[in-house]
């Protein structure tokens, strides 16, 4: 039998003073149990933080316990929920590189600069680890006996890893046949119980939310505000890498829109504690076939309609993003931009990123493809400084790489495709290949 969802803190497991509030009606909610949505109105919850008036940049990351001193998330502990040291599950996540490459600036149409913050350099190779260290730590602090998520693949890999680190069983629900082999392999290898459901991600998440409302199963999707607290640190770390000088635009893919929600909260908090003095614009990029948020924005926020999602970028193949209200708040706060890109635009931008030797998974490349479109349409000026978030590693979706470069994507070879050649084991044949490579 599965225990019922708890309505009170788990006995004997006191958690520091954790508080939440509803972003719609403001109702205060205790943060010491597994969290879902506002009990009063069903709205999404935010973690309430007591932020100091100022944070001295030199004090950041000082005096941390050894177990988390190397985490690029817990480094920003003054801007995170006060979880007890003993509950924290960390894999030295974060500390991801920020790369600049003139070829990518040129691809985007910028005379300014295009940088990429590579979140694929996290322990399980996506940005999800930043959220998961906080989410699973909160789960542990509240005495969760099982943690669960629905996923397009990266959340599941990350949850499986952090749950294994914490010694808590993990349940993962994925849309059958619709996540990449690499992500499925990670999830299985790290030991999560994997359930494949007939249907898409949106259906899988709905099913899980029914389960977690009824039973004592800790929900680790980005509906959970503790996850988003960790994801804020992408922005914190980026700004610190930039010496707290704010770029003009931060471009990121929009799927379930947790990151978009987290980025707006992060920027608002940095401004409040005096670490930055202005806000960049957020640019949210969705795949054309999975773009309910872009349509909602284009219609002046008047009508929101979920859609049946279809895109090659399986990570963002989501038709009813759970964090839509949070994302709207982030776009409004930053006078942000929202646009869509086709699958071809995504894959061509991915090939450009891969070709620099940096590499990323398809969804990540939406940040470059979208920037290129926004520059071409005049929404971003050519002399702007833009940072794109690469959300996952190139090896996350090897099939997409092979399909692109071997030319069987829609039957046609794409620009920049790099087709392996076959030769007999013969020196003259090999010499011709070298000659071609040098002069061809």
Using CB under 6 A, list all residues that contact ligand F0G.
Answer: 126, 128, 151-155, 222, 253-260, 315-316, 361, 363-364, 391-392
Distances (CA, A) of 257 to 131, 286, 294, 411: 13, 10, 11, 32
Closest distance between ligand F0G and the C-beta of residue 163, in Å? 15
* Nearer of residues 155 and 385 to ligand F0G, judged by Cβ: 155
Other beta carbons less than 10 A from residue 302's beta carbon: 7
Q: Is 112 left (phi over 0), alpha (psi -120 to 50) or beta?
A: beta
Distances (CA, A) of 395 to 120, 205, 361, 402: 9, 25, 7, 11
Closest distance between ligand F0G and the C-beta of residue 322, in Å? 8
Closest distance between ligand F0G and the C-beta of residue 39, in Å? 24
The three-class DSSP label of residue 134 is helix
* Nearer of residues 228 and 352 to ligand F0G, judged by Cβ: 228
Closest distance between ligand F0G and the C-beta of residue 400, in Å? 12
Closest distance between ligand F0G and the C-beta of residue 166, in Å? 19
| Helix 343-355 × helix 398-405 angle, to 10° | 90
Instruction: Yes or no: say if 311 and 289 are a contact pair by the CB < 8 Å rule.
Output: yes
CA nearest 390: which of 116, 19, 195?
A: 116
The DSSP secondary-structure symbol of 26 reads -
* Nearer of residues 141 and 312 to ligand F0G, judged by Cβ: 312
Closest distance between ligand F0G and the C-beta of residue 391, in Å? 3
* Nearer of residues 104 and 318 to ligand F0G, judged by Cβ: 318
Closest distance between ligand F0G and the C-beta of residue 287, in Å? 10
Closest distance between ligand F0G and the C-beta of residue 130, in Å? 11
DSSP states of 408-427 as a string? -STTSPPTT--------S-H
* Nearer of residues 68 and 136 to ligand F0G, judged by Cβ: 136
* Nearer of residues 32 and 200 to ligand F0G, judged by Cβ: 200
Instruction: Yes or no: say if 75 and 63 are a contact pair by the CB < 8 Å rule.
Output: no
Beta-strand ranges (E) seen in 141-247 are: 147-150, 170-175, 193-197, 218-219
Instruction: Yes or no: say if 211 and 4 are a contact pair by the CB < 8 Å rule.
Output: no
* Nearer of residues 102 and 332 to ligand F0G, judged by Cβ: 332
* Nearer of residues 143 and 230 to ligand F0G, judged by Cβ: 230
Q: How far, in Å, CA of 190 to CA of 381, rounded? A: 45
Closest distance between ligand F0G and the C-beta of residue 222, in Å? 6
DSSP states of 263-317 as a string? HHHHHHHHHHTTS-SS-PEEEEEEEGGG-HHHHHHHTTTS---------S-GGG-
* Nearer of residues 36 and 112 to ligand F0G, judged by Cβ: 36
Closest distance between ligand F0G and the C-beta of residue 153, in Å? 5
The three-class DSSP label of residue 251 is strand
CA nearest 384: which of 281, 288, 266, 285?
A: 281
* Nearer of residues 33 and 367 to ligand F0G, judged by Cβ: 367
């Amino acid at each position: 039998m599965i225990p019922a969802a708890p309505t009170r803190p788990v006995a004997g497991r006191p958690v520091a003073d954790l508080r939440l509030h509803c972003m719609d009606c403001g109702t205060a909610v205790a943060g010491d149990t597994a969290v879902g949505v506002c009990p009063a109105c069903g709205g999404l919850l935010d973690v309430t933080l007591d932020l100091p008036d100022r944070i001295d940049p030199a004090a950041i990351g000082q005096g941390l316990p050894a177990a988390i001193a190397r985490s690029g998330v817990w480094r920003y502990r003054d801007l995170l929920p006060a979880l007890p040291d003993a509950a924290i599950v960390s894999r030295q996540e974060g500390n991801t590189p920020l790369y600049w490459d003139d070829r990518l600036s040129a691809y985007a149409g910028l005379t300014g600069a295009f940088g990429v913050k590579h979140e694929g350099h996290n322990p399980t190779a996506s940005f999800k680890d930043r959220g998961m260290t906080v989410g699973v730590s909160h789960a542990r602090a509240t005495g969760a006996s099982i943690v669960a998520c629905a996923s397009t693949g990266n959340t599941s890999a990350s949850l499986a890893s952090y749950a294994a680190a914490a010694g808590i069983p993990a349940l993962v629900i994925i849309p059958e046949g619709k996540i990449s082999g690499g992500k499925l392999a990670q999830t299985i290898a790290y030991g999560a119980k994997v359930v494949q459901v007939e249907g898409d991600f949106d259906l899988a998440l709905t099913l899980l939310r029914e389960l977690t409302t009824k039973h004592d199963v800790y929900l680790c999707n980005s509906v959970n505000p503790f996850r988003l607290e960790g994801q804020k640190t992408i922005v914190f770390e980026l700004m610190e890498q930039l010496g707290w000088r704010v770029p003009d635009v931060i471009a990121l893919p929009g799927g379930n829109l947790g990151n978009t929600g987290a980025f707006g909260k992060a920027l608002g908090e940095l401004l409040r504690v005096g670490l930055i003095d202005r806000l960049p614009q957020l640019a949210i990029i969705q795949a054309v076939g999975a773009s309910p948020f872009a349509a909602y924005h284009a219609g002046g926020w008047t009508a929101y309609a979920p859609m049946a999602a279809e895109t090659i970028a399986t990570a963002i193949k989501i038709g009813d993003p759970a964090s839509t209200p949070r994302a709207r708040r982030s776009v409004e706060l930053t006078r942000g931009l929202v646009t869509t890109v086709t699958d071809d635009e995504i894959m061509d931008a991915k090939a450009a990123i891969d070709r620099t030797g940096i590499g990323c998974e398809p969804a990540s490349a939406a940040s470059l493809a979208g920037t290129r479109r926004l520059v071409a349409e005049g929404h971003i000026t050519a002399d702007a400084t833009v940072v794109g978030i690469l959300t996952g590693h190139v090896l996350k979706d090897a099939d997409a790489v092979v399909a692109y470069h071997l030319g069987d994507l829609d039957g046609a070879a794409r620009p920049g495709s790099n087709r392996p050649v076959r030769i007999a084991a013969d020196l003259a044949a090999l010499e011709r290949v070298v000659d071609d490579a040098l002069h061809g």
